[in-house]
Amino acid sequence: MGRGYVIEHCVSTLNLLRKEDNYRVYLTEVLRGISKSVGCEIRLGYDEFMKNSRRGQENAEERTPGEIISTIRAKAELINNGSTELTS
């Protein structure tokens, strides 16, 4: 197995992922159209939803290690105290 094989495999996998994502967008847009025709409007599409969720992940990465540790400690203390209510 050489570099060419690895590159070909990566490109093939990327193309497959893009094809699956395009199918999901198409399918959800069709379902949005059907729901709109029966009187129910869905304002957020799959592609917009995914962009928003990726933005959320980017914002989560901006926390410092100290902030992450303190958040985990606070949640662990709530669990140890028997509280079922966790805050972010």
CB neighbours of 25 closer than 8 A, spacing ≥ 6? 45, 46, 47
Residue 86 domain-assigned (yes or no): no
Both tokens of residue 20?
Answer: 């699956």
In a domain, 58, yes or no: yes
Contact, 49 vs 28, CB < 8 A? no
Collapsing DSSP states into helix, strand and coil, what is residue 84? coil
Would 78 be classed as within a structural domain?
no
Q: What's the domain count of the chain?
A: 1
Q: Is residue 31 part of a domain?
A: yes
- Per the structure, the complete domain to which residue 39 belongs is given by 3-63
For residue 84, pLDDT over 70 is answered with no
Q: Is the pLDDT of residue 52 over 80?
A: yes
Domain assignment present for residue 83? The answer is no
Higher-pLDDT residue of 85 and 24 is 24
Compute φ and ψ for 42, nearest 5 degrees: -105, 115
Q: Each residue of 19-45: pLDDT tens digit?
A: 999 999 999 999 999 999 999 988 888
Any domain includes 79: no
